[in-house]
Structure 1
Amino acid sequence: MELHCTRPSCPKPINAFADLDSSAVLKTVQQKFCVTCGMPLILSSRYLPIKLLGKGGFGTAYLACDRYTPTMRQCVVKQFQPSGNLNPDQLQIAQDLFEREAQVLEALGDRHPQIPDLYAFFPLVVPGLGTSQPEEFFYLVQEFIDGQDLEHELEQRGPLSEAAILEILNSILKVLAFVHENQTIHRDIKPSNIMRHRNGKLYLLDFGAVKQVTQAQGSSPAKSTGIYSMGFAPPEQMSGGAVYPSTDLYALAVTCLTLLTGKPAGDLFDSYRNTWNWEKSVQVSPRLAAVLNRMLQSAPHQRFASAQEVLQALKPPAAPPSPPTTPSPPPASTALQPPSAAASSSPPPAPPPPAPPAPRPQFSLLEVLGGAAFTGFEGSLVAIALVSFLGVTLVGGGSWLLFMAALTFLQWRRIIERVDLAIIAVISLGLVLMLRLYPGQLLSWQNVLIIALIAALIAVAIAILFRLIYQIISRFF
């Protein structure tokens, strides 16, 4: 088993212990120490860091397991580790923010299913590395969300649809409504702080920059400490002024814009006119556009006052109730008609409204490149079969183009995808290699395979080039 040393200055943090592969040893050993720097590896005698997850402004996160649980439950261990050279006052502020995250998780995590639970918060004092002065570290242990944050989801899948944005809004607004009702403001809403679990549930992360709302009547709201993410924070937060629940709504709207358009927040803001200029980059319904634009107002009082107001505004308008009708006697011309005749004279029912068009298939970057490689591979095999094995001349070029168009259409409609591509490619390669048994073949099996692979790489390169040109053009139009 490998354990990761959490000392920031350790030159070789990875430690392998073969005896920890035994469950009996793992649960009973008192402690393990880093073979390089001597740092204790089993934190608080129970948490075993096994992988570095990432580093932020105030700390480093590790994936760990809790050896005192029956299933060796996975968790996240955050170590307080501020970046940069901070003076004592700044260091104290950073430590207060780290402790505040633990307090908020303890207060809110157990009470809401979309906020991680707090498991532990503790300090650790160890001998210094290369110095006689001891070092003190602070750790926060919280629930591990097995999934991917929306920033990485955007990088892999591209811009999200309006339906996906509405799902995110409805989910995260409910979390913010709970947070605000408990007199807390998150102050750092952005795609990397929203995690999608493998089961689809969205979680709100990173409460290190939270702010308590002042409750005393007549007192002015507390000033912001200047903790924010550039591009997502509203003007009042960037200037160090007071923050409000609408501060989080502004940041959530910017988050939605980046996910809708696939562009950085800075590319969507017109600094010359001091306005957001995003609607030309994506087509959305008028109701969603109006909601986002109100959330993006520069003055806090011009935005929605609460997350509940936004949720209400996102609901489709209810159909107006039909006016009550009083029965009236039938006209004389129909009163004497038999029931069958009266029924036949009534107007036919209105036809049902047409079904909305099916949404256009969305393809991730991996699917696009895989499809290009498959198309190039198949195209080369068909060309080899037509020209080299079957003796077809240039007259057969038309049939080859029809085959390539049909292949592309089948992928675009998702009639063939994923595993289908690999199965078809293997079968096609086998058929082409079988044709080598006929007299007159011109290519060896090695040359057939090399040509097919080269064609696949060329198709991938062309797909990458066209995608790059599209992204460059989309930034200007």
Structure 2
Amino acid sequence: MQLYCTRPSCPRPVNQFDDLDNHSALKKAQQKYCTSCGMELFLSGRYLSERLLGQGGFGSAFLARDRYTPTLRHCVVKLFQPSSSLGPKQLQMAQMLFEREAEVLEQLGNQHPQIPNLYAFFPLVVPSLRSDQCEEYFYLVQEFIDGEDFGKILHRRGPLSEKAVRAVLVSMLQVLAFVHQHGTIHRDIKPSNIMKGRNNELYLLDFGAVKQVTVGPGSGQSTGIYTTGYAPPEQMSGGQVFPSTDLYALAVTCVVLLTNQPTAELFDSYTHTWRWQEQHQVSPGLAAVLNRMLQATPNSRYQSADEALAALTREAGKMSVPNPSFPAQISPSPAAAAPSPLASPSPTAPPAPSATLLPTSRLSSLPAFLGAAAFTGVEGGLLAIAIFSLLGTTLLGSGTWLGLMIILIILQLRRIIERLDLLVIAGISGAAVLLLPRLQQVILPVSGGQPMQTVLMLAILAGLSTVAIAVLFRLIFRLVSRLI
């Protein structure tokens, strides 16, 4: 059996013990020690770490087994080992948050099926490798959820459907309603902290940043622990946090799942508004609920998860909350399953190809879509005239024009050019072609002595042609989407 040493500074953490392959012998075996650093491998006498799951600023997480259960039940062992660069106050705060996570899991996990259970919380004192002194480590053991978090699902298969995101929203609102009713605010809702189990259930993970709300002035102050892009303004400024703080982060999570775009691409920092609907259209009811949850000020949002659930039900025109079961067809990849004790972690599968070329176009609203298409055609025509004239040949033909169109589309999709930029660029290039005779050479033979009018006519025809092609593409895309 392979055991993984949990000491952070261990030079060779992998240990092999053939005598532990027998389950009966494993349960009776005496303490084993790392052959490299001497660290105890039977944590608290029963938890056997198999491999490293991940590392963060406050420590590490390991996949482990409980040798005193009939099936050698899998569990997750979290080691509290913060960075040595932390000051005394920061270290004290970090340890407090680690202990608080254990308290919250003990309080909530055993009462709600979508929150991992706490199995153990204990310290371990061992001799140091570098001195005669001892080192103290703190461990938290919790339920292992066999599945895949939504950060990985998003990377593997791309944006989720409205039905799938609605299921996530309903399920997490129900969990948050329970969490908030017990005086706790999660404070770190994001795709990687929501897990889809292989049983098709959704789980809320990582309660390391939770805030237990107490009565008293200033008791709800934020500690500055959050994920940039998902945290609302009051949390980022270190102000008081509320249940609506979690609702904001959950709404951001939902629009990221819908669009598969980073938060920086969805949030307009100039106007301080979310522009996610330009990239993905959903039903008006769901959009209204998400937009209210995304309001900048806490009192403008729903004040509770129950209120948001009720609004979602009203907007959907139903008498009860929608079924929160997650679509079964979106299941964890085989690589996300728990490995055998001797297996190494599987690499993350590459993203699945999307069903369409532009499944979540930034130009999803009709006016913006047609305006961008017209700009692309006009600008492509003007650039083609200018380039053909400068090169003195039209042998490149439609291939060059098509290439220019593709470049313009990519620039718009990446928001390098947008809104007023389109008019400015078209105006400058149009003026250049109309005022510089050198750029009109390609159309002089057919202009009949009126190159300016011919340039304008060709540009307008190119724009109208592009709009027609774009509308046709949009209709085909809508038809195919309905069929599949």
TM-score, normalization: structure 2?
Answer: 0.67
What's 1:62 paired with?
62
* SS of match in other structure, 1:170: helix
What's 1:113 paired with?
113
Q: Matches of 2:192 and 2:25 in 1, distance apart?
A: 38
Q: Which amino acid aligns with 2:38?
A: G
What's 1:296 paired with?
294
- Kept in 1, the 8 Å contact 2:187–2:245? The answer is yes
* SS of match in other structure, 1:224: coil
Match among 391, 411, 414 for residue 475 of structure 1: 414
Asked if 1:243 is matched to 2:241, the reply is: yes
- Kept in 1, the 8 Å contact 2:157–2:352? The answer is no
Q: Matches of 1:135 and 1:172 in 2, distance apart?
A: 39
Displacement of 1:298: 0.7
* SS of match in other structure, 1:252: helix
- Kept in 2, the 8 Å contact 1:53–1:63? The answer is yes
Cα distance change on mapping 1:123 and 1:470 into 2, 3 Å: farther
Cα distance change on mapping 1:185 and 1:318 into 2, 3 Å: closer
Match among 255, 258, 263 for residue 261 of structure 2: 263
Gaps of 5+ in 1: 322-360, 371-467
Q: Matches of 2:195 and 2:265 in 1, distance apart?
A: 24
* SS of match in other structure, 2:49: strand
Q: Which amino acid aligns with 1:6?
A: T
Q: Matches of 1:241 and 1:79 in 2, distance apart?
A: 29
Q: Matches of 2:410 and 2:194 in 1, distance apart?
A: 25
Displacement of 1:368: 3.6
Name segments (4+ residues, structure 1) moved above 2 Å.
219-222, 316-321, 361-370, 468-477
What's 1:227 paired with?
225
What's 1:35 paired with?
35
Equivalences for 1:320-399 in 2 at 5 Å? Answer: 368=353
Displacement of 1:130: 2.2
Displacement of 1:278: 1.2
Equivalences for 1:196-211 in 2 at 5 Å? Answer: 196-211=196-211
What's 2:139 paired with?
139
| Residue-by-residue CA offset, 1:206-246 (whole Å, 9 max, x unaligned) | 11111111235xx4543111111111100100111100000
Q: Which amino acid aligns with 1:247?
A: T
| Residue-by-residue CA offset, 1:155-180 (whole Å, 9 max, x unaligned) | 00100111111000000000000000
Displacement of 1:88: 1.3
Q: Which amino acid aligns with 1:226?
A: G
- Kept in 2, the 8 Å contact 1:77–1:140? The answer is yes
Q: Matches of 1:252 and 1:76 in 2, distance apart?
A: 25
What's 2:3 paired with?
3
Asked if 1:171 is matched to 2:159, the reply is: no
* SS of match in other structure, 1:60: strand
Displacement of 1:56: 2.0
Displacement of 1:365: 5.8
Q: Which amino acid aligns with 1:53?
A: L
Q: Which amino acid aligns with 2:173?
A: L
- Kept in 2, the 8 Å contact 1:221–1:243? The answer is no
Displacement of 1:367: 5.1
| Residue-by-residue CA offset, 1:445-476 (whole Å, 9 max, x unaligned) | xxxxxxxxxxxxxxxxxxxxxxx999886433
* SS of match in other structure, 1:111: coil
Q: Matches of 1:109 and 1:262 in 2, distance apart?
A: 30
Q: Which amino acid aligns with 2:34?
A: C
Cα distance change on mapping 1:472 and 1:137 into 2, 3 Å: farther
Q: Matches of 2:150 and 2:39 in 1, distance apart?
A: 35
Q: Matches of 2:187 and 2:53 in 1, distance apart?
A: 23
Q: Which amino acid aligns with 2:414?
A: R
* SS of match in other structure, 1:257: helix
Q: Matches of 2:412 and 2:115 in 1, distance apart?
A: 39
Q: Matches of 1:221 and 1:182 in 2, distance apart?
A: 16
Match among 302, 308, 311 for residue 313 of structure 1: 311
Cα distance change on mapping 1:70 and 1:6 into 2, 3 Å: same
Q: Which amino acid aligns with 1:202?
A: L
Q: Matches of 1:472 and 1:67 in 2, distance apart?
A: 57
Cα distance change on mapping 1:14 and 1:115 into 2, 3 Å: same
What's 1:80 paired with?
80
| Residue-by-residue CA offset, 1:100-135 (whole Å, 9 max, x unaligned) | 000000000000000000000000000001211100
Q: Which amino acid aligns with 1:236?
A: E
Q: Matches of 2:21 and 2:28 in 1, distance apart?
A: 12
- Kept in 1, the 8 Å contact 2:158–2:352? The answer is no
- Kept in 2, the 8 Å contact 1:158–1:365? The answer is no
- 56-65 or 32-41: which moved more? 56-65
> What is the number of residues matched between the two proteins?
341
What's 2:322 paired with?
none
Displacement of 1:366: 5.8
Q: Matches of 1:83 and 1:204 in 2, distance apart?
A: 26
* SS of match in other structure, 1:304: coil
What's 1:422 paired with?
none
* SS of match in other structure, 2:51: strand
* SS of match in other structure, 1:93: helix
Q: Matches of 1:263 and 1:200 in 2, distance apart?
A: 25
Q: Matches of 1:211 and 1:366 in 2, distance apart?
A: 35
- Kept in 1, the 8 Å contact 2:286–2:315? The answer is no
- Kept in 2, the 8 Å contact 1:78–1:141? The answer is yes
Using CA pairs below 8 Å that are at least 6 residues apart, which structure has the higher relative contact order?
Answer: 2
Displacement of 1:22: 1.7
Displacement of 1:272: 1.2
What's 2:438 paired with?
none
Q: Matches of 2:296 and 2:236 in 1, distance apart?
A: 12
- Kept in 2, the 8 Å contact 1:64–1:76? The answer is yes
Cα distance change on mapping 1:282 and 1:80 into 2, 3 Å: same
What's 2:188 paired with?
188
